[in-house]
Amino acid sequence: MKEVYIMYTQNYDKELNMVYGYGKVNGYIGKDREVIGNIIFNFYNMHTFEPNNSNWQRANIISDDEVYLMETLLKSDFEFEMGTSIATIEKISLFNDPWDTELRKSVVQEFLDYCDYMMVNYVATVAADHQSERSKTDNIISFPKYKMYETLGFMTLGGGMKNRPVLLKNLNLL
């Protein structure tokens, strides 16, 4: 696995009762540390995680992908432990080699370690390219990131292989 370091910035939105996050992904090229990408994520408290509350509004403000992820989470049969928290990975961008699976895996693992330290219990993501990166004219959707997330212990929560799989990792099981 490639070594990465993420510098995190977070903003608490009191009105929406959530935290927006951004991380600059740094990697070593030779002996020099350089910014090689970024990660965009969100933190939610599970005590507000119910189908008929403001989570829909929160997700809708962020992106269509976040709405899809939240709808899948809230409609799933998975029983979340109350009083816990969840982080969603909205987007990971790698500047020089966007398809470098090992580098992407390192970024996700570093983020999982950070979430564990921050006492986040679950991490969820959509195993497809961010909506802004998908061609609206493509009829074929592929999920090259699915296997990578699976090797990191994520389980499929919904969506499926024909409709952008939503994956969840329970950090309580580390």
From CA 41, how far away is CA 26, in angstroms rounded? Answer: 17
DSSP helix, strand, coil percent of the chain (3-state; round to 5): 30, 35, 35
Pairing relation of β-strands 18-29 and 32-45? Answer: antiparallel
Q: How far is CA 46 from the centre of its chain?
A: 16
- Count of Cβ atoms closer than 10 Å to residue 8 Cβ: 13
Strand order of the β-sheet with 32-45 is: 4-13, 18-29, 32-45, 85-94, 122-126, 166-170, 155-158
Q: Return the CATH number at 104.
A: 3.40.630.30
Count structural domains, the chain. 1
pLDDT for 48: 61
Positions of the chain with pLDDT under 70: 1, 47-61, 129-144, 160-162, 174
pLDDT value, residue 134 = 44
For residue 37, the one-letter residue type is G
What is residue 124's predicted lDDT score, i.e. its pLDDT?
A: 95
What backbone torsions phi and psi does residue 110 show, to the nearest 5 degrees? -60, -40
Name the residue range of residue 12's domain: 4-173
